[in-house]
């Protein structure tokens, strides 16, 4: 499986899942444009790790929570590398709170970041792919929250469920252009965001209790993204790939 000669754009790639995807795409041979929010403290480290593999890495700081920010990012990415063959859309936005107390402004912010930005990025990149007749790959990072109504995550659950359906709809419309569109549903992944939400002690104690005996890693998700971005996945589109080490099945498992 090789991505030699491909140009990839990964949003939210400063750390966590986005970084894991950027590194795995580079490991498979792609050159990578990585995005993070303005004044990101993390993006430079990702650049160094990609370049250490001998791959080209272009950092572009832009706020993909806005249409203007997405337009700016896509324009600069195309100017930097010529064309975009692969998009991994991975904006991160989540706010946990009880439904009855949920701030409508937080709801709007999460929907904007976790759903609308995916629409904006994919539409802009898909237009470029169609114009240039690129048989491209679009991968949305969704979540196991999409089919599972976790408490205190009303906005995030709604955004990821919408993202899955949106991605399938986009896949339908881009079939005739031979652009593959797929979603990945990560389970519980060891990211800085999860450390902030749950704390190191809880992650270290609960990880070994999961069905696979560990919490997931950004590399696990990156490997899935690299596969979906490869020619080996040519016949896969409109599909949701769950990468969770059986996390969603944990309550179904019994000793036998």
Check whether 180 has a pLDDT greater than 80.
Answer: yes
Tell me how far apart the alpha carbons of residues 140 and 7 are, in angstroms, rounded to a whole number. Answer: 17
Instruction: Report the CATH number at residue 196.
Output: 3.40.50.720
167 is a domain residue: yes
210 is a domain residue: yes
| Per-residue pLDDT band at 234 (split at 50, 70, 90) | very high
Report the pLDDT averaged over residues 122-145.
Answer: 98
At 134, list the tokens: 């690129």
Check whether 224 has a pLDDT greater than 90.
Answer: yes
Catalytic, 150? Answer no
Residue-wise pLDDT tens digits, 183-192? 999 999 998 7
In order, the DSSP letters of 114-138 are: IIIHHHHHHHHHHHHHHHTT---EE
Residue-wise pLDDT tens digits, 18-48? 999 999 999 999 999 999 999 999 999 999 9
2 is a domain residue: no
Domain housing 231? 7-252
CB within 8 A of 54, min separation 6: which ones?
none
| Per-residue pLDDT band at 256 (split at 50, 70, 90) | low
11 is a domain residue: yes
Domain total of the chain: 1
Q: Residue 255: its pLDDT value, please?
A: 66
In order, the DSSP letters of 38-49 are: TT-SSHHHHHHH
1 is a domain residue: no
Tell me how far apart the alpha carbons of residues 143 and 244 are, in angstroms, rounded to a whole number. Answer: 9
173 is a domain residue: yes
Q: Residue 135 to residues 8, 27, 73: CA-CA distances in angstroms? A: 13, 21, 21
- For 113, which DSSP code? I
Mean pLDDT of the chain: 95
> Percent of the chain, pLDDT > 70?
99
Tell me which residue of 148, 152, 156, 149 sits closest to 240, measured CA to CA: 148
Region of 181 (left: φ > 0; alpha: ψ -120 to 50; beta: rest) is beta
Between 204 and 34, the higher pLDDT residue? 34
21 is a domain residue: yes
Count of other CB atoms within 10 angstroms of residue 70: 27
59 is a domain residue: yes
Mapping DSSP to helix (H, G, I), strand (E, B) and coil, where does residue 181 land?
A: strand
Check whether 93 has a pLDDT greater than 70.
Answer: yes
Q: Residue 125 to residues 46, 151, 222: CA-CA distances in angstroms? A: 22, 34, 20
Catalytic residue (one of 102, 150, 156, 235): 156
Tell me how far apart the alpha carbons of residues 187 and 176 are, in angstroms, rounded to a whole number. Answer: 32
Q: Residue 194: its pLDDT value, please?
A: 80
Half-sphere exposure of 85 (CA within 13 A, CB side): 17
Check whether 137 has a pLDDT greater than 80.
Answer: yes
Check whether 254 has a pLDDT greater than 70.
Answer: yes
């Amino acid at each position: 499986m090789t991505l030699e000669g491909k140009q990839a754009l990964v949003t939210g790639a400063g750390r966590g899942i986005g970084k894991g995807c950027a590194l795995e795409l580079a490991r498979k041979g792609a050159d990578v444009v990585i995005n993070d929010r303005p004044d990101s403290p993390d993006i430079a480290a990702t650049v160094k790790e990609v370049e250490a593999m001998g791959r080209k890495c272009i950092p572009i700081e832009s706020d993909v929570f806005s249409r203007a920010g997405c337009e700016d990012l896509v324009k600069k990415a195309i100017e930097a590398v010529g064309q975009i063959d692969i998009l991994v859309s991975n904006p991160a936005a989540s706010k946990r709170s009880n439904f009855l107390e949920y701030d409508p402004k937080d709801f709007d912010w999460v929907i904007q970041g976790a759903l609308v930005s995916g629409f904006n990025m994919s539409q802009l990149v898909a237009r470029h792919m169609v114009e240039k007749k690129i048989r491209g790959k679009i991968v949305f990072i969704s979540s196991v929250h999409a089919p599972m109504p976790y408490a205190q995550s009303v906005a995030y659950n709604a955004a990821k469920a919408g993202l899955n359906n949106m991605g399938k709809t986009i896949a339908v419309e881009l079939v005739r252009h031979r652009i593959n569109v797929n979603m990945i549903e990560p389970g519980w992944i060891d990211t800085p965001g999860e450390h902030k939400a749950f704390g190191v002690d809880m992650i270290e104690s609960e990880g070994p209790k999961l069905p696979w005996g560990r919490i997931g890693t950004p590399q696990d998700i990156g490997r899935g993204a690299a596969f979906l971005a490869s020619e080996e996945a040519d016949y896969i589109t409109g599909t949701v790939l769950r990468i969770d080490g059986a996390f969603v099945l944990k309550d179904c498992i019994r000793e036998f």
